[in-house]
Chain A
């Protein structure tokens, strides 16, 4: 029934649009697509760059990337009048397997001016408490003793440690948790919203978003993999650091429409 109502609404809108070509205030429904690309300080990266120690982070650690997956959710368009449109769904970007690098939510968006567009890195706490069959199937969940919910990101690879030996690292972002066990507590939220800025949507739009992976190690300090490399999920201080370092990793490159 919901679907029928939605379809009627779509047809009505299409009808209105086509009947009012001379009307400057016309509103139509569009699809928006979000493409995700990745770079290391402006040098583009795909999974073909994985598995080789070829990157150097701001601290000077030489490293490789072997696995990169991350979750984005709650894409929200804000109008100047305060109203918002939240696009349905979430997207698990899987760079390792070249999957879900493009995401087109099923929700239609009306054309017009928006004062901001945001998405959430990870899940907010409410969404994080739901059960998602696709994410469970992808082994994306977080153990109950670590607070349940889901990973926000898995960035795995190897770095050359102080002895020059390759050593694994697991930069796994989750909701920061203290007191792992039966009654975990949460010191602060570690999901964050990424602002893409104001936009006027006139047609189907494609947002090209890039992640600078190097920035996960760069700001506000420099991340030393010799100190923080593995077992970071139960380390709330490390999780809060990831939250801080992640604030400027995403950037809106272009919008095509």
Chain B
């Protein structure tokens, strides 16, 4: 009886926002595991809407000058076209802003170039208080949001409370970020039988998949994995010595020095510059790196081929075709519609 009573009370008092299932693209549904959605932060219509508003609102920064979207711009597939982003004081970081899409399929849930943060919710905590990014404090942010004419009601709708705290802010932002799904590139449509590729793009795909040529698939996946990344950390031969230890600084293991997360190859048309430090301004630069520019070091990934010769040595034609294929992974609707 007591049990029934308490259940009844809970069901009466507990506010539930409107569930909003992620729209999972067919290629994802058919080929890879389901996205990661925490049980304590289900997707809701109100939560996503709140997260989107917060993402684009400079209220999260100390002086109300910087929003998440300033370094993660929709037109750049939610990254920054600058090599390094500047924070509220104009101080530059030392890594290129990461693009944001298909984040719910990062199965290990390690975020940032060096994987220093577990879960999308925890990731959203970081920039707000980073002294060279938004430079705020959560106490200040919570006060500003609670005094705002709209936010208390939006939090009420999303989470059933107008008591705003950092956990709810980051939950809302994470819900929004999980809706940033990119799956409508020319190559996607080709795989779905809804479009054709040019002979150049097709040859580029073969270069990508050919272990004697590009051998890109071991880290960046294939037509069987629409993420185009393994979300794992590799030293891809950028440097002989490291000024930025990457994963090694996180784990403390020298064997991880110089390792950074493989980024997705989707949306390269919008995400320049490339690599963790944005050192390459063009896709040609990136291809030339793997073809002739590899630098040996103790932690270089053994998947890097022909390191002594500088790389795999692609022909000029294969380079051009590979670029054409890579650009076919760009999703123009994604940058227009978000």
A and B assemble together: yes
Q: Are B212 and A231 in contact (CB under 8 A)?
A: yes
CA distance A180 to B218 in the complex (A): 17
Q: Are B303 and A170 in contact (CB under 8 A)?
A: yes
How many interface contacts (CB-CB < 8 Å) are there between A and B?
78
A94, chain B: closest CB distance, angstroms: 11
CA distance A169 to B306 in the complex (A): 10
A164, chain B: closest CB distance, angstroms: 12
Q: Is B230 part of the contact surface with A, judged by Cβ < 8 Å? A: yes
CA distance A133 to B28 in the complex (A): 9
Given A145-B209, A145-B210, CB of A139 within 8 Å of CB of B300: no
Q: Is A248 part of the contact surface with B, judged by Cβ < 8 Å? A: no
Q: Is B162 part of the contact surface with A, judged by Cβ < 8 Å? A: no
Q: Are A139 and B225 in contact (CB under 8 A)?
A: yes
Q: Are A168 and B32 in contact (CB under 8 A)?
A: no
Q: Are A167 and B218 in contact (CB under 8 A)?
A: no
Q: Is A143 part of the contact surface with B, judged by Cβ < 8 Å? A: yes
Q: Is B224 part of the contact surface with A, judged by Cβ < 8 Å? A: yes
Instruction: Name the interface residues of B3-32: CB closer than 8 Å to any CB of A.
Output: 30-32
Partner among B33, B222, B296, B304 whose Cβ is within 8 Å of the Cβ of A134:
B33
Most central of B107, B302, B304 by chain A CB within 10 Å: B302
Q: Is A137 part of the contact surface with B, judged by Cβ < 8 Å? A: yes
Mask: chain B, 234-267; 1 = CB below 8 Å from A; 0 = not: 0000000000000000000001000000000000
Partner among B224, B301, B302 whose Cβ is within 8 Å of the Cβ of A136:
B224
B298, chain A: closest CB distance, angstroms: 7
A127, chain B: closest CB distance, angstroms: 16
Mask: chain B, 250-293; 1 = CB below 8 Å from A; 0 = not: 00000100000000000000000000000000000000000000
Given A141-B222, A146-B211, A231-B212, CB of A165 within 8 Å of CB of B308: yes
B71, chain A: closest CB distance, angstroms: 29
Q: Is B217 part of the contact surface with A, judged by Cβ < 8 Å? A: yes
Instruction: Name the interface residues of B66-91: CB closer than 8 Å to any CB of A.
Output: none
The size of the chain B interface, using a CB distance under 8 A, is 34
Q: Are B211 and A137 in contact (CB under 8 A)?
A: no
Partner among B33, B210, B221, B307 whose Cβ is within 8 Å of the Cβ of A167:
B307
Q: Is A234 part of the contact surface with B, judged by Cβ < 8 Å? A: yes
Mask: chain A, 15-54; 1 = CB below 8 Å from B; 0 = not: 0000000000000000000000000000000000011100
Mask: chain A, 93-121; 1 = CB below 8 Å from B; 0 = not: 00000000000000000000000000000
Instruction: Name the interface residues of B41-81: CB closer than 8 Å to any CB of A.
Output: none
Which B residue sits closest to A232, measured CB to CB?
B211
Given A134-B33, A145-B209, A231-B211, CB of A139 within 8 Å of CB of B298: no
Instruction: Name the interface residues of A165-190: CB closer than 8 Å to any CB of B.
Output: 165-170, 180-181
Residues on A with C-beta less than 8 A from B32 are 133, 136-137
Residues on B with C-beta less than 8 A from A218 are none
Given A50-B255, A139-B225, A143-B210, CB of A133 within 8 Å of CB of B33: yes
CA distance A157 to B308 in the complex (A): 16
Most central of B31, B211, B221, B303 by chain A CB within 10 Å: B211
Q: Are B217 and A139 in contact (CB under 8 A)?
A: yes
B318, chain A: closest CB distance, angstroms: 14
Mask: chain B, 205-223; 1 = CB below 8 Å from A; 0 = not: 0100111100101110111
Residues on A with C-beta less than 8 A from B305 are 168, 230-231
Q: Is A210 part of the contact surface with B, judged by Cβ < 8 Å? A: no
B25, chain A: closest CB distance, angstroms: 14
Residues on B with C-beta less than 8 A from A234 are 210-212
Given A51-B255, A144-B209, A233-B211, CB of A139 within 8 Å of CB of B31: no
Q: Are B107 and A131 in contact (CB under 8 A)?
A: no
Residues on A with C-beta less than 8 A from B304 are 168
Which B residue sits closest to A230, measured CB to CB?
B305
Instruction: Name the interface residues of A134-161: CB closer than 8 Å to any CB of B.
Output: 134, 136-137, 139, 141, 143-146, 156-158
Residues on B with C-beta less than 8 A from A136 are 31-32, 224-225
Q: Are A157 and B222 in contact (CB under 8 A)?
A: no
Which residues of B are at the interface with A, using a C-beta cutoff of 8 A? 30-33, 105, 107, 206, 209-212, 215, 217-219, 221-225, 230, 255, 296, 298-308
Closest 6 CB pairs of A and B: A168-B302, A51-B255, A143-B209, A141-B224, A136-B224, A156-B302
Sample of 25 A–B contacts (CB below 8 Å)? A51-B255, A52-B255, A66-B301, A66-B302, A131-B224, A133-B31, A134-B33, A136-B32, A136-B225, A139-B222, A141-B225, A144-B209, A145-B206, A146-B211, A156-B303, A158-B302, A166-B296, A167-B307, A168-B304, A180-B210, A181-B206, A230-B305, A231-B211, A234-B210, A234-B211
**10 new A-B contacts at CB < 8 Å, known A167-B307, A168-B304, A234-B212:** A67-B302, A131-B31, A136-B224, A137-B105, A139-B219, A141-B222, A143-B211, A156-B301, A169-B302, A234-B210
